[in-house]
Structure 1
């Protein structure tokens, strides 16, 4: 099309039919506030529209309706060069396609092979019948990057030893025809389930759910979700790393005595209890075994004992909200007793 013909077409776009005055909402569109695109891929804009009551009689669903996309500013009278796409094919600065059914007020559109220069605000306009109108109050901010945004890992509930848990990884799919593939790296065996999901704003994401049974050995281990986006003949990847926080009852509980060598009656010895737990141990308890009888003798992580008797065996227990762990038994040996 020659430059003069193109100009006449744009003038016709603005002037024929009902003239829309900038600042007055003659069209009501619904679309996301923001879309993140990937260089070389496509971007799908979920879009629908409605006509205000004062124009209900002018808009005819039975008459073919065209869709127009305007960049940066919605005032096509002042900025005619901002029109970047018209579904009748006469303006196609951006290669695109309206995939929605315009007669059903669905203006969902796909732009192909986007670049970082596409990053901007976009407004929608209808054209091609007695009523024409633009929504100046609603735009979608498209942000195109050379690299994909990282997926997001979320945890459903507490990660507790011995209890199956699900982790979710979500990655945006700005080009639903070529969604990303999600993979996991975990320090244990797992099962996965992947699916496309529609978000409240009608954008599309890929959701991957992994289910496994954690052990206390997995505490503070790293997990990774990787999103691989197909772009042309190559791939672009992004990942999210997260450290597992596994709740577990006390493990590796042990008791120690100092001095370890036989001691004299009347001297002091220190007994110390240690344990690994998440959350940390909140209560340590000491027990003595003497003549086959077990007796609770103290509480606290450390226990200082004035040696007055015949010695014996001691052990401790550590407890948190998930359970308890019992230590080994340590011998309190007294000089002059039992051959010492």
Structure 2
């Protein structure tokens, strides 16, 4: 008699025991038989979607004489029902309702990962995986709760890509000359045709690396990382990340996200001081400093000379100092912001 075997789900990944439809030759308990696959996967029309899938059946000896087959059922888990829809059956090379379905995982290695190609809107549905081991070893359908069909692998098909995730140093403002790390990630439901990520308004010092990464639920995403040193030229710059998805349609599909970079510049509210600040003698070197709460900048040392000595006159010195002060103040006004 059939009976459901269950285990709790965590996150958006399903780790469940299977609903045994019939077992011949071997007995398996709920403690040693289970499947692991994501609860939902989102596919883009005209592309493919990969369903990562693994299973475990302990106390089972590998035998070259045993043949293992995988079956995907659409909408209903009842394999023998007259209204059941078998989308894929590896034992009979059956593919229904899809242009192509390939099991890329090796069932002998407990891997039932499957790729559905050329996804269309009418492919949105619940899907059940069935495992058959012949001759007369095990036949089982993944269905933790027959009364609740929501606990299955669901393929959601959309015409538009999912939103991108753009993360930065979690600072509303960044200091000039500090290192900024940005990361942009895009879902890759079809790892064979991953999205291509591009950046706009890239800072001059930027370094970019991109890689395909597997997430905890075994689905994959493309991550692009950009590292650069903040410059005053980057202040209020809109940096955009765009992911372009290739697909078997007349045009590609893309998603974009943008962030504004705000750079804290130094100096602001420039003040001119002479160091040393006490009375100075002729020939003493002085330094002009522009300082604010974020830091300071100084000019090169200038030597004071008197009229009649080698070098510029006092009036010339005053003019130079005044000119430097004016330039610094204009620079502060033109390039510095709070």
The TM-score, its normalising length taken from structure 2, stands at 0.64
Alignment of 1:151-170 (within 5 A): 151-156=164-169, 159-170=174-185
| 2:146 maps to 1:133 | no
Residues 280-319 of structure 1 deviation map (CA, whole Å, 9 limit, x = unaligned):
xxxxxxx999xx759xxxxxxxxxxxxxxxxxxxx99642
**Partner SS state of residue 31, structure 1:** strand
Task: Please tell me whether the aligned partners of residues 27 and 133 of structure 1 are also in contact (alpha carbons under 8 angstroms).
Answer: no
Q: 1:109 aligns with which of 92, 96, 114?
A: 114
Residues 270-289 of structure 1 aligned to structure 2 (within 5 Å): none
The aligned length equals 255
| Cα distance in structure 1, aligned partners of 2:246 and 2:24 | 44
Conservation of the 8 A alpha-carbon contact between 2:21 and 2:141: no
Which of 40, 46, 50 does residue 40 from structure 1 map onto?
46
**How far apart are the structure 1 equivalents of 2:45 and 2:82?**
27
The question of 1:68 aligning with 2:74 is answered no
* 1:30–1:69 distance in 2 versus 1, CA, 3 Å: same
Q: Distance in 2 between matches of 1:140 and 1:198?
A: 18
Whose strand proportion is higher, 1 or 2?
A: 1
**Is the CA contact 2:270–2:292 (under 8 Å) kept in the aligned structure 1?**
no
Q: 1:79 to 1:167 in 2, by over 3 A?
A: farther
Structure with larger Rg: 1
Match of 2:255 in 1: 238
Where structure 2 has 5 or more consecutive residues not aligned to the other structure, the ranges are 1-19, 145-150, 280-288, 299-324, 327-338
Q: Which residue of 2 aligns with 1:188?
A: 203
Q: Within 1, Cα distance between the matches of 2:178 and 2:108?
A: 52
Q: Residues 182-240 of structure 1, C-alpha deviation per residue, up to 9 Å, x if partnerless? A: 11012522221111111122212111111211124423321111111111264211111
CA distance in 1 between counterparts of 2:297 and 2:121 reads 58
* Residue matched to 2:269: 253
SS of the residue 1:132 aligns to = strand
- Does the Cα contact within 8 Å between 1:220 and 1:245 map onto a contact in 2? yes
Are the equivalent residues in 1 in contact too, given 2:266–2:296 (CA < 8 A)? yes
Give the alignment's TM-score, normalised by structure 1.
0.64
Q: Quote how far apart the aligned CAs of 1:110 are.
A: 0.4
- In the alignment, the residues of structure 1 paired with residue 23 and residue 290 of structure 2 have an alpha-carbon distance, to the nearest angstrom, of 88
Give the gaps of 5 or more residues in structure 1: 1-13, 256-286, 295-314, 330-340
